[in-house]
Amino acid sequence: MLKINNEISEVLKNCDIDSLIRRMQAFTINKLGYNNKNYDGLEPLDFVFAVFEKALSGVRNWDKSKINFEGFVFGSLKSDIYASIEKQKRRKNTPVEEIIDESYILDIPVISDEVGFEDTTTQRIDYKTEKQDFLEKLKASEATDLEILIFECWCDEIFKPQEIADFLELDVTTIYNALKRLQKRRKNILQKKS
Amino acid sequence: MSKLKNNIDKGVTNFYLNLDVDIIKESLKDDGVDVIKEDEKISKFSKRIKFMNKAIVIKEKTDNLLETIVSKFQEAIENNIDNPIASLKKLIEAKELSVQFRNLDKLTEEEIKEIIKGKNLVDLMDELDGETD
């Protein structure tokens, strides 16, 4: 614990925590939306704060040799969001008014879904077919060219916002706005599917 | 997770990991969020986590030091090393502790902690180091 907290001290000294919290908050909203019911009486920021508290108290242990601090807290946040969605699922009687993005959650073990983690345990799916199928659904839902291009970037493993912006010769804000639309569209597609 | 879902997830996560915070704030404003009020809340929280972190580090250091001192006293009692035993007896007398503390062989870890309580641990450690060197 002392070693971890000393390492966290170093991060807290050198990193813009306020900015990290904002990015985590935006990520939470991206996954759970704005509807209060999806937060079990809490707010998106409360989810983020809980991640830091768990890291400091040792409920979740950061392994510096495996992942950087930002990747670790994002991974923890994903696990908490997953747990929250699972909790809501168990309360079947309470309808979730705003559709939440649980599409990425398929038996993800806690923390293992961090950035850089490659899941090799699941079955191989025909990537090409799956990609084509999703592309058709995007087109059918009248996705813009930019939304489709962002999706294609991800398929080609171009992930960082600046890299996508440079590749598409656009600014990051434009990409971000399109990403939000794309995420909403994806939720709707998945909702129809279920 | 299928490769496609994994890639989408990575894409979304990477976006938020690397996105400029001003872009996020603008977007939140557009969604009707009171960003200024939230900035205050975030600032308070980040001060709190820095404080919490410092407090945990200090507490853990103190706990570790306490454990080391207790072990040193236990070792001294077991091996009958005069000087640390004398220090311990002095502490017991100064605190006017009950009879149960007089029989050093039967002192438990918790009782040694009780004897040390309130003493400057760094000074005590220095003293013990000097005595055992």
Residues of chain A contacting residue B5, judged by C-beta atoms under 8 Å apart: 103-104, 106
Which amino acid makes up residue A101? D
* Cβ(A180)–Cβ(B30) below 8 Å: no
Q: Which two tokens stand for residue A82?
A: 């997953």
**Burial of B40 per CB tally in 10 Å (0-12, 13-18, 19+):** exposed
Candidates A19, A28, A35, A101, partner chain B, best to mutate (most B CBs within 10 A): A19
- What confidence tens digit (pLDDT) does each residue in A21-78 have? 999 999 999 888 887 777 777 889 999 999 999 998 889 989 989 999 999 999 999 9
Give SS3 for B96: coil
Banded pLDDT at A1 (limits 50, 70, 90): low
**Burial of A147 per CB tally in 10 Å (0-12, 13-18, 19+):** buried
Residues of chain A contacting residue B54, judged by C-beta atoms under 8 Å apart: 9
- What confidence tens digit (pLDDT) does each residue in B117-130 have? 888 898 888 888 87
Query: A36: which DSSP letter?
Result: G
* Cβ(B73)–Cβ(B133) below 8 Å: no
State how far residue B81 is from chain A, nearest Cα, in angstroms: 31
- What confidence tens digit (pLDDT) does each residue in A148-183 have? 999 999 999 999 999 999 999 999 999 999 999 998
Distance CA A152, CA A9 (A): 39
Every domain of chain B and the residues it spans:
3-53, 57-132
Q: Is the pLDDT higher at A72 or at A5?
A: A72
Scanning every residue of chain B, which has its alpha carbon at the shortest distance from the alpha carbon of A58? B56
Asked if the ipTM is above 0.85, the reply is no
Q: Which two tokens stand for residue A116?
A: 């850089």
Chain B 37-66, CB below 8 Å of chain A: which residues? 38-39, 41-43, 45-46, 49-50, 52-54, 56-57, 60-61, 64
* Cβ(A23)–Cβ(A43) below 8 Å: no
Every domain of chain A and the residues it spans:
2-90, 127-193
pTM of the entire predicted model: 0.75
Mean predicted confidence (pLDDT) in B85-106: 80
Q: Do A2 and B52 make contact, defined as CB atoms within 8 angstroms?
A: no
